Every structure is written in structure tokens, then in C-alpha cells.
Structure 1
Amino acid sequence: MSWYILGPFQIGTREAVWGADPLELFGGFRALEYDPEATFKSSLAFNATTTWSRTSIEFPYPPPTQQATAELDVDFPDVEWDSLQDVYGWPALQWQAWARGTLNVRLQGAITLALQTEHVIEVWVDDQHYYGGDFYGYGKVATTLHLEPGSHRIDVRLIRDVRSEGTVGRPSLGVMLRVQALGPLLNAVKADTSNPHQGVLMPDIVGGDYGQFTSSYASVKLRNDGHEDATIVSLEATHNQCETELVSKDSIVVIPGQTRPLAFRVACISPITGRGATTILVKYTTPDSHITRTVYLSTWPLTRERHEAQKITFMHPGGMVSYAVLRPPSANAHCTPGMKKAPVMLVLHGAGLEADDEKVRKALDDLPDLCAWVLFPTGVTTWSSDDWHTWGLADVEAAIAAIPTWIENNEWEGVGVDTDRWLVTGHSNGGQGAWYIVTHRPDNVVAAAPLSGYSSIQNYVPYTMWRPSDPGKVAVIQGALLSYQHELLLENAKDIPILQQHGSEDDNVPVYHSRLLNWLLESAAGVASDYHEMPGRPHWWSGVFVTEPLKHFLRSNLNTGGPEIEGESIPINRRDFAVVSAGNGDMGSKNGVKILQLKAPGRLGKVHITHDPLTQACVFEVSNVAVFHLPAQFAECSLYVNSQEVPLEIVTQSDESAELTLAYENGTWTQTTADGFPLPPRQGRQQGTIDSLLRTRGAFQIVHASPTARKIALQVSRNLCQYFGADTIISSDHSHATTSTTANIITIALGQELPKDESSLDLPISVENNRIQIRDITNGLQAYPMTPDLGAIWLRPLPDERLELVIWGAEEKGLEIAARLAPLVTGSGVPDFVIVNHKMLFQGLEGVLALGYFDGWWNVSRNSYFT
């Protein structure tokens, strides 16, 4: 069987979500037929042109095992990759292409198949479009196909990304397509179909065969491969050995094509493993049938010793079950005499690794004496979903919060845990994650050891190969990526002991990243880090977490108890320091000072503090900050903000942890009080770009108002589950979603069917008079008439710091274009609002009509862009 390839074409780092597909200029790859004589312009190929190529591969159906796999190894040997890389570096090794194959169904009747598309971001099956794919090869969420007998065309968009595919050797791309025949309506998702006990997330058992689960939460992903909604009726365990109950008290519905992680609690009678596999029965019904069907699941929990690294489970804020690996302090831990609580040592894994892999969980076996609760978080996925940022950091903090429950459930009598004090380390992407936590949670970090970590996503594989765009548009995207740019946030690391370690022969994350941050730590933040470049070492080697310098650093900062953290208070005689924020809502405090609101989003905000011990003056130099908090101790000094003296008053004198809030209004800094001027309404979890949607408290509510919108809702749900492991509830009840849940909402609507805004604010974006319009205080009213390809995506506020993400299209075509910008792969830089049409599909960012930010009052920020 032949597959036809057309490419390569240029693509920039994480640019694919913005379209930038040159074949869309011709109606898309789907509109083209194979023609070996046809030529297409390409900036990567010789003579600036490329043509079709052909390769053979077998992809029959049905095979003997009711499963067929097609593996493509796509390469373009005629491209002068070396010369491109010599000039443009790693970004030149990225490319995009399309591939076309055929799936033949040789049965008498229609068949239902699960399609897995690993390392693919976009696919067409006949005339049906599926966007999102499985870019990282997670294998968690398949696409359900209902096919009639005959030949079916498959068009696959290929994105060769350096961060996921590497740089060693020729820049080829391995793609795997798999189809599997399906049986019952509701199926359990298993990444490894050959293992009957794989697919259920369960905690480990601690204390031998007669021990108990380390925690009570468990989960399984269920996919609806039928044509009707499936409603979960109950969940039971067999043999009266275990009791189970669903976490959700509400009705659980899985719509056709949807995958949902089902969260439940489990408790078993000892011995748990002595009776074989633990079997779980999930019972469900459909609307047109009163028959109760059953999904049978089996799992075999692992047994760990009390002081051994063990899997614990907990609820992620997003409403689904996650896990981490926890190693309690051993009996031989060298803790300071009389020490009651030990800090948490966070060990962040690199890209593509499970926290429960032996490579990760045994990384610190040679250091059994550490006086710490060693925690290996997952970040939910093997790529930590968003590189340990918003969604991944929420997972880390939820895992830390689960440790006291473990202590209580296991009747632990050893040293306790201080959940507010962290020593953070990590390797590769985890090293980058360590930098993120250092710069975003500085008051929690007692010490840090980033190992072979890259400095920022923008610096690792630069964005230089994006299609050329207006600098104003590029500036908006760069502003949306500010929270990733650790190079600009290093002042937050002052007074934190830091060790850097990097192999000198690293061909995955060049050692330049650590050298750069080492230099910037000293020159920008006045921090002298402990730097160790390991001669001849590659990116990873056995023992990377237990080198002699690292062991000394960890013991010095853990076994002595580490430096004390002052929490939200600050001694007045502390030396000068600064707090820097990207305004993304994830910024914690530094020495008790916390930036709450920026004047202009998409730009850095900074508060620099100096103290004069002679005059007892505390001088604050503030830039691009509208509101910030101070600990109460600052009321003891004369306080000046940008040369203005600000009288301070403690509201509650008896509360030593009382905070002072200063806000900028009408050219004056003032302490806010209960009867003072109101703070900007955009607060806390609402701040940031569209990625701030990921701060949901509960399963995402996806609301649609038509069959077309429901199709897009399913796509968004699939992508959130694939890339973030997230749970979603799909419905058509907008009122219930906005008023009866604690979660963030995604509203998907066509034309005039968009539900009205539920807030009391006069928001600047609206759909009326047969157009979408934006009220911009700088340029007046911007209006875009409803053409079939017009689409938009923007944030709206809800009560209690919740958010609503609106995905809107004038018609189906515009809705599909806008939906591409919903959270997917990390680092794409989508700001607070974007208005698009079909030009975005082939021009990328340059084809966008408008994009930008909302400020603290939900007005359009002045640094937004309008065509």
C-alpha cells in the first residue's frame, strides 16, 4: 500500500496551533490529488520548491488481531539541513509536511474503530477533520471512527518539533497510526493493550501483604465508542474484598466519542494482593435502553515497604485523580536533633518520563539519609502537561498537600512535614521546572538544584522560524510567553542557595543554558550559585542525581534543617531585594511582598525595595504594578513608593500576619481598606493569558448550543484529556454551568447563539448587529462583519475568580479555526483574546485580525493589536 508525502515546509517552534500551513492557500492538502509533476514553494527545499514523494507501507484491515498499525519514518534527505542549522540553529531542523494513506475496511457491515495518531497534530479521515491528535505520543485518548466497508482516505499533518523529537542525527520523524476494532459501547483506555491489569491508576500498598493503600483515590479512563450517551450508574468491587465509591455526587455522563477519567475511592481488606487481581466493575446505561451494561477492570497494586518510594494518589484541582511518588524520611535520616518537621524535597522528572519509572523513583536510592519528604510529582503527564507551569504546578502543590493525609492514614510517628518549605531539584525539563518554581514561589524554596535544565522555552528552541509577522503581533505573543522566560525573573532567586549541574557534552540541552543562568544570577540578581559542569558527561547518566557536589549540597540544606523561612513577614533590616512578576497569576511572594496586579499585562512588573537603617525609611521603586501586598512589619518604617510617602495603618493590630495592600489610582499610591476605592475586579486565578483557564477548581464545563458546536466541544474535550489528563463535562446548560459549579467554563457558540455575559461588568467584546465588536479605549470601536470564516476566542469573568473561555464562530468554518487556539501544547503564546479568519490557516500569526489582553478592569489593554 502506498503513502504519499508532500513537504517539507517551514514551521516555527509551537507555531502549528496558529495554522501557518502553506497548503491552505490551495484549499488545504485535502483538496490536492497526488501529482508527481506538481511543485510547491518551500523555503527549506532546493530551488525553493518541493514535490510529492511516495513510500510503501502495509495498513490492511482487518488483521488477525483486529488491530492494524502503520509506522511511517518520514525524512527529506535532499534538504541541506546541516547548512540551515549552521546559520539558524535548532529551529531550522523543524518542518511540517502532510501524508496520505488509505484504510480499507473489508467487512460486510459498518465497523467502529479507535484511531491512535502518535506524533500527529491534525488528521482528516475522508471529509471529517480531527484537530489535536497526539503530538507527544501519549496514547491516552483515541479518536472513535464509525466506518462503512470500503476504502477511506487518511490525511495526516506532520510536525517535526525539536523539543519532542531531539536534534541528534537527521531530522526525520517517526509517526505511528493504529486502528483497533471496538466491542462494547464504553471501553476502558489502556496504553498497553497487551497488559490486562494496566489502565487503572491505583495507589501502592505500604507495609507488606497485610498493609494498606497509601491513599484512597483511584481512576480509570473510559471512552464512549457508541452513538448514545453513557451514564455511569455505579462502581463496584468484586469478592467483597474491596469497597469503592465514585468521587462525584453528580450524574456522570460520557457522550459519544468522549474520554473521561473516572475518579473513585477504594478501600480493601488485607491481604489485598493475596487473592489475585483487584477487579472493578463499572455499570452504565444509555437513554434508549434500560439494560445495565458493565465494564470489567482489573489491576494488581504493587507492595512497598514503609520507607520505600511509593505511589500515592490525590485529587488534582482540576477534578481528576493524579499521583506522585513519595519517599518518607528513613529511620537513618540525619535530622537536626529536636527537629519536628522536615521540608519537602521536590524532584521533577524530565520530558517523556513517568514519575513511577524505576529511572526516576530510584534516582535518590544512594541518599537514604536525607532529612526530607522526597516527592516525585508527575505534573499529570509525562511532559508535565505545560512544563511544570500552571497545570503542572497545581499538581505539585496538590501532591505536597497530600502528605499530611499520608501521615495520618499510616499513623506515622517519625519527623513531620513542613509543607511550606521546599528544596526543589529536577533534570532536563524538570530542571526548567525547578527554575519556574524558584522564580514563582521564592518564599517556599529553601534551596534549589536545577540539573541540565534549559533556561526558557524561547531560548531552548528559539521562535525565529515563525512565518514573518507584524512586530506588533509578535510583541503580543512574546508578552504571553513572559512567565516562561526565567532569564527575566531571576531577581526573585536572591538569598536562595542554588546549585547548578550540567554535563559538558550535553547534546539535548546545551550547557550554554546553565552557563547563561549562572552569569545572570550574579549580574542581575547578585546570587553566587554553586556551579558544576561535569566534564565529558552527556545529558543523562546513571547517578546524575547523586554526584558528590549534589550530595553535599542536599545534605547541607536538608540535614541541618535548612534556612528558616519567615513566611509572609520580613525583618526590616533585610538587605535590598526585588520582586518581579509576569502577571500570570502564579506569582507567590518574595520576603512577604507579592505583586497582585499589573498596570499593563504582557509586560513585566517589578517592585524594588531598599531600607535605610538610619532613617528607618523603606523605599519602593515600582514599575508596571497596580496593586501589591506587604507584610505588616512595613508599617514600622516610613514608606515611600516612587518618591511618594504613603501613610500605613494596620487594620488588625493583634494579627501579626496581617497584610497591607497598596494600590495605584489616579496617579496616587494609597493603602486600600474596606471603605477605600475598590480593587480591580480581575483577581487571582483570573490573571494571565488564555492558559489561566487551567486554574479550574473542578472538571471543566464545556457548554454548546448546537450540534455543530457540540462537535467542537468534543474536540476540545479530547484535547484537554490528551494533553492535560483533564476531565470535562459536556452539556448544553449554560446557566447550570455558570451558577452551580466551581469550575471554569468553555462556551462554544455560533453566530447569535452566544449566551449573554453573566458578570455585572460592561465587557468590551460582544456579538451584535451581525458582527463581533471590541471596544478599545485607545482606538475606539473595532468591528468585524460576520463572514463564514470569522472566529474568535476570548476570556470572560465569572464569580469567585472563575473564568469562562468563549470559542465563537460566525459559522462552522470560523468556529473550527478559533477552536485551534484553546489550550493544547505548551508555549504557543495565546493571549486573552484573538479574532481570526481563514487567513490564519496559511499565514499563521500574520493572518490574525486582532489579539491582545484585558487589564485588571477587563478593559482592552493599550498594548493589544488591531488590524
Structure 2
Amino acid sequence: MHVDAEISFRSPLTRNATVRWERVSCKTSIAHDGSTVDFNLGFDQVDWDFAQKIYGWSAFQYQAWLKGGIVNHGTTTQTITLFTDNIMELWVGDLHVFGGDFFGFGRAPLVVDLQPGWTNLTVRLVREVRSMGGVGPPTVESSLRAQPAVPVLHVLADDIVLPDLVDGRLCSNFGSVTVRNQAGAWLTVRQLTAISKEEIVGVMDEETTLAPGQSRPLRMTFDVARKLDNFLFFTMKYSQDDSELHQLTFTVGLTHTNASSLQKITFLHPSGVVSYATLKPPSVSYASSHEVAVLLNLHGAGVEAGGPLARHMFDGAPHLPAWILSPTGMSPWSSDDWHTWGFTDAQAAVSAIPDWIKSNHWRGPGVHTERVLVAGHSNGGQGAWFYASHQPDRVLGIAAASGYTSIENYVPYVIWTEADPLQTGILHSSRASFRHELFAENLDGIPIFQQHGSADDNVPPYHSRLMNTLLAQTGHLAPYSEMLGKGHWFTGIMTTAPMMDFYQHQLNFSQCHKTAPSRFILVVPNSDDMGSKYGIFVDQLSTPERLGKITVSVTVNPTSTYWHLRTENIHRFHLDSNVQLSDPPNEIMIDDLPHSFEVGSNKASFVRDEADVWSLEVALDWKTLDKRYGRQRGPLDAILRSVGPFEVIFDSNDTLPVAVQASRNFLQYFGADTNIVALAEYEEVLKREGNIITICLGASVPGARISHFPIQISSGFITLSTRDRRVIHVPLAAGMGGVWLRPLPDEKLELVVWGYDDIGLRQAARLIPTISGAGVPDFVILSDQARWKGAGGALAMGFFDHNWNISPASYLP
């Protein structure tokens, strides 16, 4: 590839604010099954030491560009699979790919048709401290690996999910096989069966269609009553374009264990895909009539829940009276750092234990799933803060080891592209649910133990010290052990003597009801991840960009209990009757109303009207299509709360490649499944369970399910209607694109991904949730300038309120 070595570009990182192309050598290896090029790139012209003194680890986060090529030495077009380890964005000829495989999962490589001869490659390299380390000099390590795309249907041997055999039988009844369509035509898997001892013991749940280049996990159900051999023999039948059936076979080895040992169990993530966790049952010496709690262990970044490090975390605790459960979060990075997607995976793993007890005829102690003891290391420690601060009524205690407080506090978000302060504020609001520093008051009343090594150079001990200080400011004096000279990880880190004492004390809980203190505070983000505290559950905020807050004063009389609630930014809340309190309120007063409300045994719901007057809701049928509630709450990542496979709709052959790319990213980063369907099937798709991503190009989009939806495209304009009845018309122009959420029935959501042209569409498609920490509000309309200005190139961005109106605090033209 020819580049002009004399041409210069502006950069704030280098002397004279100037950079030029530089020729580098990379390690290349060629084998019979493909070619690999490894990059290990540094930039010596940058004074990294000085930059780090000023900006800390933020100075080690940057982007760079790499240009090269790939050669097809044949005389005909060759289809290849291209693995993009630690690469987020690249161009293969004219094919633009965003998403890549930044963490090197290898789940969903690209399927690319190479013309004979040379094809240009352009790679945008991104260095990120959390995944690549904070030790200087900050080099970028990544690789490209090309392999011939044969056969037509490829089975990913490393991504087959099966439970362990317990005493010869599968310990749970779900499994998954991921396949990739490497053909240039649509393909349908008609049948997938698993055979042991010449009998069918597992079948695929339903036929599955794959677009060209798409990868999908195939869900299977197994017979857990049969004893199996050491291997399962799989037979798969598929067809292309409804033509004749083709068949392929493969064999998978099984892992044996016994009922009392650590084992791999499978279950369904709320989206319907198969997930797994490792489970260590409690000793059968405990009374079988007694229910013991779950110790929920959240792994750190880059750790596989079934790998050796995670499997041996609790070897030093063989007799804890607990079900020790380590979920995956659907990836070694827990998909999104134990937030929306990984968080629901952890909850589903806990709910799967009663099924395991039933399937395996367990005769030991039962399980108490309503309240869990949450433990975690590193990113898992951060996940423990998230779980407990968002579900305080479901947590027995927190054991956080070497955990950081939040993503943007770990490596501060500086040296980012500048934007209008309101735009920056909206992005901050979009990430508010993950800023655990803001929710320390929710942790008051929960037993907490913190542990951190004083010599930790991965997660500085400042994070644990900060959280301990914030807790103290709420009146919660949490024990904290800083281990002199210890680093980020050492053998036995989760079973030190102080940790074990804390586990034992919290696990000897009685299942008596919780008792509300004389005063407590609930801080609420705009998120469906938020649960209740002492039974108070907030359904809707008054305005979505601010946190909500309820301060409760409790007065206990001999004959009654009286609660006085003072609210901030709360529109609707209810008292959850499933939360059992020893001192439930008989009467509550809200703010400065001159009267109180009697509270019975049934669920009581309260709403604030337009005159700011609270009333008790008599009819509880307010959950209509034009009200935002349940899984619809939260910024753009609310689309991840799908209760079935994502439905990715494309409106033409021009948008099909973007649909395949969105599907690939969902699988790569979340382990999620997607149906790719044409716009003509839109009405049929609405009848299915999953959330919808509609990808469209041009001067119109399909109509919303509610007629008054505030974003419309027609007559050469994009129109935004505000709550105060302003109507803003923005002329359509080259390079424009956007994303916005829309309501569907039954708490479902639709994410519209729109571009006026191909450039605008590809800009918009970058905003589909991929990796955590970015933060995208409910809607973003981009101009062509967003290509180099980032958020500063947005024409409009903001949030929808509880009535699906544009919030007054939004950034508008």
C-alpha cells in the first residue's frame, strides 16, 4: 500500500503537534490453515512518562492508524474468515467493520470475500488501560488472522456449552452449539441432535436461519434422566435457500464429577441463550430441611468462570454453609462489567439452583435465593458494588476484594473529544447507574467487608479507601483490611482469614424479616436494574436525567409504624409486598401532604400528578404503551433487556451488511442471539418476544407504535417535538444519522438505527451497545461532523421521560 510519508497530521501527543506515517515491521506467520500478522506497536516519539505525570493512566489511552494489505494469490475470489483480536474498527477494501473483537473472544470473526490480488487493510488501533494494562511504555498488541472459509457451515468447537456429568447424568438440561454461515447465501439449520449409547439425548429447540456471514448459538434441550458415555455425537442437518439437506457430524467430550463437587451447570439467560456457571453445593452434613444462602462470586475482567483461576478461588473454603456460585456474565469480561446484561445473567444463575436441586434429586440442604452474599475480585468487586447498590433488599452482605469503584473513576474520562457542556452532561447522566460512588447511601445497613493489597498496581487501593470513606460519610463504618505488600492477585485471595470470618458470620443468618432503621435513604438511577430498599420500589422518575431520592423517617408506636417519605425527582413508586419486614408501615406520609395514607397488606402504589400532589393509585392498570416502565427504563443500553433473541430488521440489501455486523457484535461481546429479518416481516416480528433493532437508510423510517412519538422523519426533515409543544424541523443532509428508542407492547423496546446515507448509517450503528463504559442517551441525532467531533458533532441528544416525551434537559437545535 502506498502512503505519502511526507504528509503530516495534527496530534496533541507529539512535538510540534505533528505526526507522519512511519513504516513498521510486524511478525507474520504462514501455515496451511491460514496466515497471521501480530502487531506490537509503540510510539517512541511521545513522552509517555511526562504525559502520565500530568494525566495519569488516561495518558495511556490513545488511538492510532495502521495501513497494510492482504493478498489473494489465486485467480478467483476466495472467501476467508478474518479474526481481529484486540481490534475494534477496520476497513477491508471498501468494507467498513465496527466492533471487531476488541477483547479477543474469537466468537464471531468476519467472513470476507477477497478478490484476486491485493486488498487494502486499514486498522484503527485503540489502546485501553483496563484491557491492555497501565504499565508503560503503552504499546498496542493486536493481531489479524486469516483462514480459508471452509466448510460452508462451521462449528465453533471452543464455543460449545454443555453441563458436566454428575454421577453419569447431565446436571442440567440446556446446551448450546455456535455455528457460522461462511457461504454467500442464506442458510437454515434444520436439525441438530446429540446421541449417546445410540440414543438421541438432546435436540435443537427450533430451526435456525443464518444470513451470509452470520454466527448464531443453537440452543438445545437434553434428557437429564439418561446415563451417558464420555462423549456426545452430534449430527447437524442444514440447507441453503431451501435446497437439499447437507449433513455434518462432530464429537464432544464430557466432564465427569459428583454431586458434592464443583460442577458446570447450564441455564437460560433472560434473553433465551444458554449460559453457564460453576456451582459448589454445600456439604450434605447440614440438615436437609435447612435452607442455606448463595455465595455469589463475581469474577474479574478476562477471567473465564470455568477456567482454572476461577474454579480454585474457593478451594480454601471447603466447608462453608453456602451454595458457592460463579456465573460467567456471558463472557470473560462479564459482557458489560456485571451491569445490565451480565447483571441479569448473575440473577438467572441464582434462580437456576432450585432447578439443579430438582434435576439431580439433591438430598442435602435447600437453597435460599431471595437474599445472596455477594463476593467479587477486581472487576467482580466493582460488580459486587453494582449488585448490592441496585438490589439492597436481595443482599445479605458484600465481600469486595481489590475492586474499583466505577469504570470512569478507574481510568478517568479525560483527553476525550470536547463537546458542549450540556452534551457532556447528558453523557454523564447516561452512565450514572454505573457510578457506584453515587449510591453509597443504598448500601447503608448491608454488612460489608473490604480487602485490598497495598501494593496493587492494577486496581490502586485508593478505590477501596474511597468507597470505605463514602460509606463512613453515610454513617456506615465498614471493616477494611489493607494487606501490606500484597498485589492485585495472590493464591487464596478470596479465602483469607478475615474473608472467611466475614462469610461465616453472614451465612449464619436467620431467615427472619428485615427491620427498617429509624432513617434510611434510597438513591435511584433511571434503570430497571434498580430494585427495592426496605420494600420501596420506584417505578418512574419525574425527569430521567436526574437521580431520584427518597429519605424515610420511621416512627414505631406500640400499635402502629409510621413512615414519613421525602422525595426528590420521583413520579411513581410502590411498596413491594414480597419484601418481608418485621416493622412494615401501617401509615405513610409523603412530602408535606396534610394527610397520611393507610397501608394494608396489599401492594400500595403512589403517583404524583401534574399539580405535584401525591395520591394513592386505586387502579393499577397504568402500564400502557404510552407509559415508560419496567425493562424500558434506562438509557440506550435498556435495549439489552430482551426476553428473547434480538430481532434485527434490515430495510434493503444496502442495510443487510450493517444488520450482520450488529448481530456479530451482539454475539461477540454479549453472547447474544439475533434473528436477522427483512422489513417486510416487521409485523410478524412484533409478535415475538425479543427487542427489535430496526436498521433503515434514506428519508423515512417505519412508523412508531404510538402516533405521537416525538421523533419523526418525513418531507425532507427530521422533526423533534418537545414536551412544551415546541416543534423543531432539521433539514436532512449528507452524513446524518441517528439512534433512538421507541416503545413496544409488554415492556419491549425498539431501537431505530437510521442513516440518511451510508456514512450516516455507519456512524449511527457505532452507537448500538457493544462494550461497557461508553454511555449513550435515549436518542442521538448525528451530523456529518460527528466523524471527527464525536459527541460534539451531535445535532440533538437526550432522554425520553415517563410519558415518552423529550425531556426538557435534552440538547436540541
Match of 2:339 in 1: 389
The aligned residue for residue 322 of structure 2 is 372
Aligned to 2:52: 85
Is the contact between residue 215 and residue 314 of structure 1 (CA under 8 Å) also seen in structure 2? yes
Structure 1 residues 739-765: Cα deviation after superposition (integer angstroms, max 9, x where no partner): 320110001112245211123x51100
Give the drift of 1:200.
1.7
Q: Which residue, 682, 690, 701 being the options, matches 1:743?
A: 690
Corresponding position of 2:741:
795
Which of 441, 461, 465 aligns to 2:391? It is 441
Q: Is the 8 A contact 1:809 1:818 kept in 2?
A: yes
Deviation at 1:637, TM superposition (A): 4.4
Cα deviation code 1:190-242 (max 9, x no counterpart): 4xxxxxxx4421111112xxx21111111111111101111111112346545
Alpha-carbon distance in 2 for matches of 1:641, 1:133:
51
Alignment of 1:857 with 2:803, yes or no, is yes
Q: 1:676 to 1:184 in 2, by over 3 A?
A: closer
- Relative distance call for 1:799 and 1:247 in structure 2 (3 A) is farther
Residue correspondence of structure 1 range 700-779 to structure 2 within 5 A: 700-732=646-678, 733-759=680-706, 761-778=707-724
Whether 2:212 is the aligned partner of 1:256: answer: yes
- Residue by residue over 1:280-301, the C-alpha shift from the partner in whole angstroms, topping out at 9 and shown as x without a partner, is 11110011622x1123232111
Tell me, in whole angstroms, the C-alpha distance in 2 between the residues paired with 1:813 and 1:313: 42
Q: In the alignment, is residue 576 of structure 1 matched against residue 543 of structure 2?
A: no
Residue 346 of structure 1 pairs with residue 296 of structure 2: yes
3-state secondary structure, aligned to 2:37:
strand
State whether residues 351 and 383 of structure 1, in contact with CA within 8 Å, keep that contact through their aligned partners in structure 2: yes
Match for 1:467: what amino acid? T
CA distance in 2, matches of 1:584, 1:44: 38
**Aligned counterpart in structure 1 of residue 249 of structure 2, from 277, 280, 296:** 296
Residues 187, 295 of structure 1: 8 Å contact kept = no
**Corresponding residue for 1:669?**
614
Whole-Å separation in 2 of the counterparts to 1:395 and 1:133: 23
Provide the C-alpha distance between the structure 1 equivalents of 2:201 and 2:595, rounded to a whole number of angstroms: 58
**Within 5 Å, which residues of 2 pair with 1:610-621?**
610-613=553-556, 617-621=562-566
1:508 corresponds in structure 2 to 458
Which residue does the alignment assign to 2:42? Answer: 75
RMSD: 2.1
SS at match of 1:519: helix
When residues 565 and 34 of structure 1 are mapped into structure 2, their CA distance, relative to the original with a 3 A threshold, is: farther
Cα shift at 1:338: 8.3
Q: Match of 1:743, SS?
A: coil
Distance 2:588 2:388 in 1: 28
Contact 1:346 1:422 in 2 (8 A): yes
1:658 aligns with 2:603: yes
Contact 1:186 1:223 in 2 (8 A): yes
Q: 1:561 aligns with which of 486, 506, 509?
A: 509
The change in CA–CA distance for 1:707 and 1:246 in structure 2 (over 3 A counts) is: farther
8 Å CA contact retained: 1:59, 1:103: no
SS in 2 for 1:363: coil
2:95 corresponds to 1:135:
no
Give secondary structure in 1 for the equivalent of 2:503.
Answer: helix
2:266 matches 1:313: yes
775-784 or 110-119: which moved more?
A: 775-784
Q: Which position in structure 1 is the counterpart of 2:421? A: 471
Given that 1:316 and 1:395 are in contact with CA atoms closer than 8 Å, whether structure 2 keeps it comes out as: yes
**2: CA distance, partners of 1:737 / 1:369:** 53
Equivalent AA in structure 1 for residue 718 of structure 2: I
1:527 equivalent to 2:476? Answer yes
Mapped pair 1:283 → 2:237 = yes
For residue 401 of structure 1, report the CA deviation from its aligned partner: 1.2
> Quick one: structure 1 residues 796 and 270, their matched pair in 2 at CA, closer, same or farther if it must change by over 3 Å?
closer
Aligned partner of 1:230 in structure 2 is 187
Q: Counterpart amino acid of 1:324?
A: A
Q: Residues of 1 paired with 2:260 and 2:782: CA distance? A: 55
State the alpha-carbon separation in 2 of the partners of residues 635 and 166 from structure 1: 49
Out of 155-164 and 615-624, give the one that drifted further. Answer: 615-624
Q: What whole-Å deviation, never above 9, does each CA across 1:361-400 have from its counterpart, x for those lacking one?
A: 1111111111111100000000000100110011111111
Between the aligned partners of 1:448 and 1:591, the Cα distance in structure 2 is 17
Q: Distance in 1 between matches of 2:643 and 2:469?
A: 39
The residue aligned with 1:119 is: 86
Amino acid at match of 2:7: A
**Structure 1 residue 638: deviation in Å?**
4.4
Q: Which residue among 662, 684, 694 is the counterpart of 2:640?
A: 694
Counterpart check, 1:54 vs 2:23? yes
Per the TM alignment, residue 339 of structure 1 is displaced from its structure 2 partner at its CA by 6.1
**Residue of structure 2 in register with 1:20 after alignment:** none
User: CA shift at 1:247, angstroms?
Assistant: 5.1
Where 2:192 maps in the other structure, the secondary structure is strand
Q: Distance in 1 between matches of 2:80 and 2:247?
A: 20
Identify if the C-alpha distance between structure 1 residues 590 and 622 changes in structure 2 by more than 3 Å, giving closer, same or farther. Answer: same
Aligned to 1:145: 112
Whether the 8 Å CA contact 1:278–1:298 is kept in 2: the answer is yes
The TM-score normalised by the length of structure 1 is 0.90
2 CA distance for matches of 1:564 and 1:145?
60
Aligned pair partner of 2:162 in 196, 202, 216 = 202
For residue 8 of structure 2, the aligned residue among 28, 39, 43 is 39
User: Measured at CA, do residues 737 and 95 of structure 1 come closer, stay the same or move farther in structure 2, by a change above 3 Å?
Assistant: farther
Q: Give the CA deviation at 1:779.
A: 7.7
- How much has 1:736 moved relative to structure 2? 3.6
- Does residue 781 (structure 1) correspond to residue 781 (structure 2)? The answer is no
> Offset at 1:272?
2.6
Question: Which residue in the other structure is 1:174 paired with?
Answer: 141
Deviates most, 374-383 or 637-646: 637-646
Other-structure match for 1:13: none
Q: 1:11 is matched with which residue?
A: none
Partner of residue 402, structure 1 = 352
Find the aligned partners of 1:223 and 1:474 in 2 and give their Cα distance.
40
CA distance in 1, matches of 2:377, 2:229: 34
Q: Deviations over 1:675-709 (max 9, x none)?
A: 89888710100000110001100000011111112
Distance 1:270 1:696, change over 3 A: closer
How many residues are matched?
A: 805
Query: Larger deviation: 610-619 or 260-269?
Result: 610-619
SS of aligned partner of 2:343 = helix
Higher RCO (C-alpha under 8 Å, 6+ residues apart): 1
Question: Can you give the 5+ residue segments of structure 2 that lack an aligned partner in the other structure?
Answer: none
1:160-192: CA deviations, max 9, x gaps?
A: 0111111023100101110011212111124xx
- The reply to whether residue 324 of structure 1 matches residue 277 of structure 2 is yes
Question: Are the equivalent residues in 2 in contact too, given 1:701–1:737 (CA < 8 A)?
Answer: no
For structure 1, list consecutive stretches of 5 or more residues without a partner in the other structure. 5-32, 191-197
Distance in 1 between residues matched to 2:621 and 2:82, nearest whole Å? 58
- Whether the aligned pair in 2 keeps the contact of 1:351 and 1:429 (CA below 8 Å) is yes
Which residue of structure 2 aligns with residue 841 of structure 1? Answer: 787
TM superposition shift of 1:657? 5.3
1:552 aligns with 2:505: no
**What CA distance in whole angstroms lies between the structure 2 residues aligned with 1:228 and 1:268?**
37
Once the two structures are superposed, residues 91-125 of structure 1 have per-residue CA deviations (whole angstroms, 9 ceiling, x without a partner) of 11111001112211112322111000111111101
CA distance in structure 1 between the aligned counterparts of 2:802 and 2:568, rounded to whole angstroms = 16
Distance 2:504 2:86 in 1: 41
Q: Helix, strand or coil for the counterpart of 1:232?
A: strand
The 2-side partners of 1:686 and 1:451 are apart by 33
Cα offset for 1:252?
1.3
Is the partner of 2:130 in helix, strand or coil? helix
Identity of aligned residues (%): 39
* Whole-Å separation in 1 of the counterparts to 2:234 and 2:723: 58
Equivalent residue for 2:172, pick from 192, 202, 215: 215
Corresponding residue number in structure 1 for 2:589: 640
Residue aligning to 2:532: 589
